[in-house]
Structure 1
Amino acid sequence: MARPLLRLVQEGRLDLLRDELRPDDVLGSAVQSRHYGRSGDTLLHHAARYGHQDVLAYLVETLGMDVEVFNSDYKRPLHEAASMGHRECVSYLMERGASVDCLKKADWTPLMMACTRQNLEVIKALVEHGANPLLKNKDGWNCFHIASREGHPQVLRYLLDVSPGSWDTESTIKRTPLHTAAMHGCFDVVELLLERCQYKPDSRDKCGVTPFMDAIQNGHVNIARLLLEKHQEGHVHTIQTLLSLGADIHAKDEKSRSALHAACAGQQAAAARILLCAGLQDMPDSTGTLAWQLARKPDVIQVFQETNDSA
């Protein structure tokens, strides 16, 4: 009966499940401690994962299953419900006494799991029940860091409202949420982080990589331009380091803008000079705009005049 029961739970067939499972029979007692597959999930894990709150209630209240039961990765049903964005299941499990900050393997909390998705209502439910946004997993990431990787500005705004210091965090290798957002090309998130958080302009991780370097190395020129505009110093050394590491100097974003466009938009004369000296040619973007056309400051304009004079 194991496989049919599992399928009934996954499909949310409470009517048939009641016919098969009764608290006073042998089968009803057996499923309370039954773990399925290599992951060791119980029926309660599956009900939470598939979002069947009525099945959860039956398993807990009628069959007496423990809301804190864990699988082989120490994952609780609350982890499952939170990671899949099932608000009703999340609320039910917490009302039945599930620990809001329980840890699964690698020290992930349900709130961290919820922040991998964009379901703000689930995140709010967890926080309102006391979930701690400042807890870190084994890699040193808190929920703010995770939401930055996933590119969820609305989640980040909420976390900043309820926990203003959640932005001030580093992973075990000293990477900030700004590093992570820049690396993954999350432009809206980078924009928000620069607006509302106080990251150092050239913060470096343990390998010496800055958010600007992450953006350029991964071809996110629009983010590199934004960082140049907001952070006005230190980028010449960063560009030199990138070039020495063999970064693709000709990388362009989705609008065919190069690092030279970014330097000119940020009015960075020294950065523009080193890019031109390294062999980067001024080519039009998808709108036909050349980098030099973005130059406004006299010293940036002069860089292109010097280049034309020497050509």
Structure 2
Amino acid sequence: MASPLYYASLTGLLRIIRLLIEEGGAEVNAEGGKHGNTLQAASSRGHKEVVELLLQNGAKVNAKGGSYGNALHAASFEGHKEVVVLLLHNGAEVNAKGGFYGNALQAASYGGHKNVVELLLQEGAEVNVEGGEHSNALQAASSGGHKEVVELLLQKGAEVGDICSL
């Protein structure tokens, strides 16, 4: 079961979050909910100020769990570049694995967010890492029909690999 802090983070209720943390002693790293924790919930919705507040109050930037895997994967899939930058500047591991999409680069590629893909590559994301539902970033971008992302990944050295027969 998710906490009130989780739901306030998911919906971006900054004043309520402050009250729950400062007056109510809410645990910022409590697990629960579809997204696994408060930081991932806020990141998935692009609530930058909430993410900042949670990090300032001890939220673990690389906490795993939930449907995306971690907060960086959630923000990357949803295309929230400012939140991605914030998470990376607070120690998020750019190549951390986990969740449905495998890693942040695959999540952003599947979502078709070229600006986030560029950022992740600049920050050291490995273009040919495998894992997740779509095997790698190139396959994720291709399956979503994101031509510009496919072109970018190819320019950055993505390997086409073998085509498997069904």
TM-score (norm 1): 0.50
1:181 aligns with 2:126: no
1:200-255 deviation line (CA, Å, top 9, x unaligned):
3x403xxx43xxxxxxxxxxxxxxxxxxxxxxxxxxxxxxx7xxx7xxxxxxxxxx
Which runs of 5 or more residues in structure 1 are unaligned? 1-39, 210-240, 246-311
Point out the structure with max Rg over C-alpha: 1
1:63-114 deviation line (CA, Å, top 9, x unaligned):
1111111215571111110011000000000000010011114670110011
The question of whether the paired residues in 1 share the 8 Å contact of 2:37 and 2:66 is answered with no
Query: For the structure 1 residues 107 and 179, does the alpha-carbon distance in structure 2 shift closer, same or farther, using more than 3 Å as the test?
Result: closer
1:220-235 to structure 2, matched below 5 A, reads: none
Instruction: Name the count of aligned residue pairs.
Output: 166
Amino acid at match of 2:148: D
Q: CA deviation at 1:137?
A: 0.8
Query: For the structure 1 residues 149 and 72, does the alpha-carbon distance in structure 2 shift closer, same or farther, using more than 3 Å as the test?
Result: closer
**Aligned equivalent of 1:171, options 119, 131, 135:** 131
1:203 match:
161
Q: Which structure's residues are more often helix, by fraction?
A: 1
Amino acid at match of 2:2: D
1:91 match:
52
1:268-307 to structure 2, matched below 5 A, reads: none
Cα distance in 1, alignment partners of residues 64 and 102 from structure 2: 14
The question of whether the paired residues in 1 share the 8 Å contact of 2:103 and 2:132 is answered with no
The question of whether the paired residues in 2 share the 8 Å contact of 1:140 and 1:170 is answered with no
**Aligned equivalent of 2:73, options 112, 118, 140:** 112
TM-score (norm 2): 0.90
Amino acid at match of 1:168: N
Please, what is the CA RMSD of the aligned residues? 2.1
Query: For the structure 1 residues 47 and 183, does the alpha-carbon distance in structure 2 shift closer, same or farther, using more than 3 Å as the test?
Result: same
Report 1 or 2 for greater relative contact order, CA contacts < 8 Å, sequence distance ≥ 6. Answer: 2
User: Structure 1 stretches (4+) deviating beyond 3 angstroms?
Assistant: none
Report percent identity of matched pairs: 27
Q: CA deviation at 1:136?
A: 0.7
Cα distance in 1, alignment partners of residues 68 and 142 from structure 2: 25
Q: CA deviation at 1:175?
A: 2.4
Is the partner of 2:77 in helix, strand or coil?
coil
The question of whether the paired residues in 2 share the 8 Å contact of 1:73 and 1:104 is answered with no
The question of whether the paired residues in 2 share the 8 Å contact of 1:106 and 1:137 is answered with no
Cα distance in 2, alignment partners of residues 71 and 128 from structure 1: 25
Moved more, 133-142 or 40-49: 133-142
